[in-house]
Amino acid sequence: RGEAGALLRWDPILAAGVRMTVKVVDEFDAPLRGWYAHVGATIDGQWESRWGPTAADGRFVAENCADGAYMVDVTEPGARFPAFRIMGVRPSVDEMVLRMTRAMRATAVITGRIVDPDGNGIEGAEVGVRREGDPVVVTVRTTADDGRYRIERIPAGSYFVEARARGRPANRSGPHVVAADVTCDAGSLRLAAPGWLVIRLRRDAGLPVGRPEICCQNVAGGRFEWLDVDEHGVARSSPLVAGAYRLWIYGLDVVTRSQDLEIKAGERTTLDVGFASGVQLRLRFTDSPVSRDLRQLRFRAIDPAGAVVDEVVLDREPPKPFEWWCGLRLGPWVIEARTLDGALRASARVTVRGIEDAGRIVPIALN
């Protein structure tokens, strides 16, 4: 602190982090060059990561790592998915050696065919694969004129196959268990005749609709579809698979609401949907030693009368935290987190004061 016009000097000393060294070798301990190494962790509520290729000696060095539980994975050059992943690694001066055996290499193949409702092959469909437990879909191939595809360079594991084509809803099959050095035939994946959804929005008290977010989920297949809202408050879907859906409306100034609906093949479903103004909070659930391996939880927002007004089941890939963007009315709330069998893992009281709270991160500890 100084007088007006005075020059103040501050020379902070920043602590150096720990260097993490990962060495990738084959089953004969020979170094593997050019493998893609990745380390990441949630530090002070933020995800941070470092990545790059291994050097000629098989090493990848991540500098200035903070103290935390890191995820480490390595991917073979040209492969679609990591060959190896380990969770909960603490930075250390000791070198971590990862030995890649033949069974871990990207030697598996998936083949199959994308067809229409009559069993005819669909040319030019986009085909992707997703490893079970991993949210990332890697689009790797478009189909030939007979609808066939061939996906190479994947490690052994369980995979879903997902496909989409112009004018048709996406679909998926699996999980398909794929072994090293084996070609797995995933069979025919059918892209059904589509249905469509049109939503006309209105906000309470006649206020302008704005641009809330809209998402619908196919209840049977678990797929999500996001709809853009135009300047007239109307949202239109891309082609959808016929069946039962759940619709969500949310946003920074919106009370989250959900609604069930049915989509029929060859028909356009139009809904008039009202929603209320509110405030969206970013609820971040911090782990304890006993919760850090949890991958799925059910979250509830409970009003002062004890009614559950919003409920969602969320997945995560540890060590990333569970986060729930939840839109609520002003006032006090109870937020609960439970396992799917009902065991309570967190209960916290949260008060929404006003629009200035929109997007505010609210930490809640899991037990």
Phi, psi values for residue 16, rounded to 5°: -80, 140
Using only C-alpha atoms, what is the Rg of the chain? 25
How high is the pLDDT of residue 264? Answer: 93
Complete domains list, the chain, with CATH: 18-101 (2.60.40.1120), 108-190 (2.60.40.10), 194-275 (2.60.40.1120), 281-365 (2.60.40.1120)
Which amino acid is it at 330?
Answer: L
How high is the pLDDT of residue 318? Answer: 84
Closest C-alpha to 350, from 282, 253, 255? 282
Spatial separation of the C-alpha atoms in residues 323 and 182, rounded to whole Å: 39
How high is the pLDDT of residue 63? Answer: 87
How high is the pLDDT of residue 167? Answer: 85
The 108-115 sheet, strands edge to edge: 148-154, 108-115, 183-190
User: Exposed, middle or buried, 208 (CB in 10 Å: 0-12/13-18/19+)?
Assistant: exposed
Cβ-based neighbour number of residue 341 at 10 Å = 6
How high is the pLDDT of residue 69? Answer: 87
Helix, strand, or coil here: 296? Answer: strand
| Token code pair at residue 19 | 């260097």
Local mean pLDDT, 10-residue blocks, the chain (367 residues): 68 66 94 94 82 95 87 91 89 88 93 94 92 74 89 92 88 92 95 93 93 90 84 92 92 92 93 95 93 93 94 88 94 96 94 94 94
Cβ-based neighbour number of residue 244 at 10 Å = 12
How high is the pLDDT of residue 1? Answer: 60
Spatial separation of the C-alpha atoms in residues 210 and 355, rounded to whole Å: 15
Closest C-alpha to 291, from 314, 266, 271, 321? 321
Burial 63-94 (b: 16+ CB within 10 A, else e): eebeebbbbbbbbbeebbbbbbbeeebebeee
| Token code pair at residue 254 | 């919106």
The 36-43 sheet, strands edge to edge: 46-53, 36-43, 70-75, 84-89
How high is the pLDDT of residue 345? Answer: 94
Residue 24 contacts residue 31 (beta carbons within 8 Å): yes
Please list, in sequence order, all residues whose beta carbon lies within 8 angstroms of the beta carbon of residue 18, skipping any fewer than 6 positions away. 64, 65, 66, 67, 91, 92, 93
Spatial separation of the C-alpha atoms in residues 178 and 183, rounded to whole Å: 8
